[in-house]
Amino acid sequence: MYLGIDCGTQGTKAVILDADSGMIVGEGYAPHQVISLANGRREQDTEWWVDALILSYRAALSQAGISSRNIRAIGVSGQQHGMVILDKTGTVIRPDKLWCDTETSQQNVELLELLGGESGSISELGLVLATGYTLSKLLWLKQNEPVCFHRIAHILLPHDYLNYWLTGNIATEFGDASGTGYFDIRTRQWNLDVLALVDSSGRLAKALPPLLEAHQTFGTVRTKVAKLLGLDANVIVSSGGGDNMMGAIGTGNIHDGVVTMSLGTSGAVYACSAEPPLKSHPLVASFCSSSNGWLPLICTMNLTGAANRVRNLFGYDLEEFNRRAASAPIGAEGVTMLPFFNGERVPALPEANASLLGMHSSNLNPENLCRAVLEGTTFGLRYGLDLLRDMGIQANEIRLIGGGAKSSFWRQMIADTMNAKVICPVLGEAAALGGAIQAAWCESHNNGNPLGLADFCQRYVRLDESSVIDPSASSVEAYQQAYDLYRQRLAEAYPQA
């Protein structure tokens, strides 16, 4: 058995994979709190992650009805870009600033200027710094909490911290490291010159963890944790990775032509590449993957969270919300929502606010508002997919994951808006499954009998053929018109987009 853990923004998921049957035999979930302030602060205590890991693991184990002694390896997926800082005793100094924290937007502007703008950032890192990356958090800490800053002995990412808790070791892997803002995605090395823009003393460079290849083992579970979880002493922990990288593994997105689209609190669109993309775009993050390749990716900050705001405004449950949205015509009779409740990353508008445009006396109704928020968030993903296509990425098939993928209405909207076939994996918790698959892959290398990751994905990633939706020609045209209006209104509201 292999345990996959996914520590997300809203909670932690756990899955147990039976290697013999290829089936998920147990699943568990535990929610997290989020420290959320009006100034854009989004933080969590690392203790919440540990508590949620334990609870979700025990729930999965109970559902599986197996002995914990059957588990041979663990793979951890974590939300990207977080800043977990430890002092010299290994103690967490302060709450983790999350990927969706926009309190550091001004620091990101400062750092981009120091790098020489977008072109300078691409030259140094292979991508453009974005608000939410770890680098701007470090500068914010130096400027706002200097006492905490000077205590830093180790800088980790969320999945690194959980691996540290499991094993007592400190390290990271290329995929998650590539979202820090001080890692060159082409050379796969820390860029210490960029890190020195925050502090030139060399202190931060000494706090960076060593780097692992995706197939390498992070370590074995330490005795105290093994006893707590009821595990054997020799259970290994894989390198792990960021949630998008592990989601790629969990959807079988490890070859050209497949695109994964995540409909969660945030939205993400990414595709696998065996080589670093030759053509770069400032809004595309060509991260390294957790499969020893690259993962060109765009991320939107507002997705199911935006939809839930409108749904809760009217007091609808999900079924009623979808029914209302489906009853409105494509284009919501001219109502357009720019759903930037948390600012936005793609397009790069970290300080933007949400807007409703095109309203008049005859089109302002709940149905159009429900459809407008779904269309607005979907159009943001289309904006990103077009950027990937411009870089030469093929989108023959879109594999949908996340809570929003459960809606057949939304799946059809995506198929028509993207003009591509859509299908869902059987297991929607793709990042947790990716963790379990990577654990099996790392174990094969650790045992001296290395197998290819494709072998594991072919065996364990299953697609739900009943979820397949092909685009409708008439709807594709109607959504194109609505999307064109969205782009027009976006440009009018934010000329820099």
Residues known to be catalytic: 243
CB contact at 8 A, 173 and 290 = yes
Tracing tokens 């691996």 back to the chain, one arrives at 163
Alpha carbons 409 and 425: distance in angstroms, whole number:
17
CA separation for the pair 471, 455 (Å, rounded): 31
For residue 346, report the phi and psi dihedrals to the nearest 5 degrees.
-130, 105
SS3 337: strand
> CA 233 → CA 221, 230, 237, 398, distances in Å?
7, 9, 12, 40
Could you tell me if 273 and 256 are in contact, meaning their C-beta atoms sit under 8 angstroms apart?
yes
Question: In the numeric block, which tokens belong to residue 38?
Answer: 């009006």
The secondary structure of 237-295 as a DSSP string is EE--EEHHHHHHHHTT--STTEEEEEESSSEEEEE-BSS--SS--TT-EEEEPTTSSEE
Angle 97-102-107 from CA coordinates, rounded to 5°: 90
Residue 229, φ and ψ in degrees, nearest 5: -95, -5
Strand order in the sheet with 463-469: 285-288, 294-300, 267-271, 258-263, 397-401, 421-425, 463-469
